[in-house]
Amino acid sequence: MYPFTYTKAADTREALNAGRGGGRYIAGGTTLVDLMRETVERPETLVDISALPLREITVTKSGGLRIGALVSMTEAAAHRGVRALYPVISEALELSASAQLRNMATIGGNIMQRTRCTYFRDVTADCNKREPGSGCAAQEGFNRSHAILGTSDSCVATHPSDLAVALAALEATVHLRGPDGERTLPFADFLLKPGSTPNREQAARPGELITAVEIPAHPRPLKSGYLKVRDRQSYEFALTSAAVALHVRGGVIREAQVAAGGVGTVPWKLPAVEEALVGERPSDRLWTEAAEHAADGARPLTHNRFKAELLKRTVERQLRTVGGSK
């Protein structure tokens, strides 16, 4: 680990000042410290933001949900409002990491997570994300866990967060506060596809602080849920995953929100699947037909060819779980 200085911000202003000076924000530290130990991350200054007043979960006036950036994964998953309004978020959180990590890790940190790509985490390997221009060892290397969607010649790393898949599905927004004031970004614009600059992962500007994520109100009733497919039962990143939210009224699907994880360089919203669902009556046949679109545009690599098929089946299964078998 490279030496660093550590300061603890007493309030948001102090944090932003330190951030403006190049400090890296740290809360739970479950990703950052790990990567510092591997010398992948070498921040000179850490700004501990855990004392900031960003720990509230509130139901917004419109009936949405605002989750403070420092709410722990455990707290968010257990929150009554979250469980009642958006089970997909609770489920995504509870299927993440381990209980110990969920107690430490925060919602803001969760969406800032960096990839589990083994070559990114190994400083002796070529990685454009870690060291722009060095090449991508994963393209021709071992890439079973890598992305099939949103990839580029520069990078094929998956985004590891489960929560982010649920947030992408629900079209959440990210509240940021920076030296120039506050702004809000659609979740789809917050996480960046690698393109030719895989080292740029979020649209946050230097020194900007995530203050909250907000899930907009969705028409009720809304059924939602998250399915995570992985080799072992617990404590593993997704091979594939699906976040599904359906609003059915009068026997017809009026709104469908579907996103996939484990397959994209960012959480992968599936508009073609959504379009195939809206206006239709729930049925097993519909689930199968809609899920056929889940892997549209997939670019498989040597070891992850199975993911395209597995993704379709994952989405189909979760549509049936949320929408019912008919």
Partner 1 sequence: MSQPQAAVGAAAPRVDARLRVTGKAKYAADNSPDGVVHAVLVESSVGRGRVTGIDARAAEAQTGVLKVISHLNAPELPPREGQFPPGEPLRPLQDDRIRFFGQPVAVVVATTLETAQHAASLVEVSYDAEPVSTDISAAEPADDPETYARGDADGALESAPVRLDLTYRMARNHHNPIEPAGTVARWDGDRLTVWEKTQYVQGTVFTLSAEFGIPPDSIRVISPFVGGAFGSAARTWVQSVIAALAAREVKRPVKLVLTRRQLYFGVGFRPAYEYELRLGGNRQGRLTASAHDIRTESSRYERHSEHVLEPGRMLYSTPNVRQAYRHVPLDVSTPWFMRGPGYASGAFPVETAMDELAHELGLDPIELRLRNEPADDESTNLPFSTRRLRDCYRAGAREFGWHRRNPKPRSTRDGDWLIGMGMAAGVYDTQRSEAQASVRLDADGIALVQSATSDMGPGTATSMTQVAADALGLTMRQVTFRLGDSLMPPAPVHAGSQTMASVGSAVQDGCDKLRKQAITLAVGDEDSPLYGADAADIVVRGGRLYVKNNPTRGETYQRLLARNNRSHLEAMGSYAGASEAEKFSFYAYAATFAEVAVDAHLGLVRVRRMVGVYDAARIINPRLADSQAIGAMTGGIGHALLEHTVTDHRDGRIVNANLADYLVPTHADMPEMKAIYIEGEDYEADPIGVKGLGEIVIVGVAPAIANAVFNATGRRVRELPIKPEALL
Distance CA 26, CA 237 (A): 22
CB of 219 to partner 1, least distance (A): 30
- Which residue shows structure tokens 């400090």? 23
Within 13 Å of residue 65, how many CA atoms lie on the same side as its CB? 23
Residues that bind partner 1 (CB under 8 A): 1-3, 39, 116, 118-119, 121-125, 137, 140-142, 145, 229, 231-237, 239, 306, 309-310, 313-314, 316-317
Place of tokens 């949405």: 64
CB of 229 to partner 1, least distance (A): 6
- Distance of closest approach, residue 52 Cβ to partner 1, in angstroms: 28
Beta bridge partners of 242: 227, 260
Q: How far is the CB of 278 from partner 1 (least distance, A)?
A: 24
Q: Give whichever of 89 and 239 is closer to partner 1, judged by the CB atom.
A: 239
Rounded distance, CA 294 to CA 100, Å?
33
Instruction: Give the angle subtended at the CA of 290 by the CAs of 268 and 258, to the nearest 5°.
Output: 30
The H or E element containing residue 66 is strand 65-68
Closest to partner 1 by CB, 26 vs 204, is 26
Between 237 and 268, CB nearer to partner 1: 237
In whole angstroms, the minimum distance from the beta carbon of 168 to partner 1 comes to 22
Q: Which residue's CB is nearer to partner 1, number 4 or number 50? A: 4
Q: How far is the CB of 70 from partner 1 (least distance, A)?
A: 24
Specify the residue, 6 or 235, whose C-beta has the smaller distance to partner 1.
Answer: 235
CA 309/CA 294 separation, integer angstroms: 9
Q: Which two tokens stand for residue 225?
A: 């849920």
If one counts every other C-beta atom within 10 angstroms of the C-beta of residue 18, the result is 21
Of 200 and 230, CB closest to partner 1 = 230
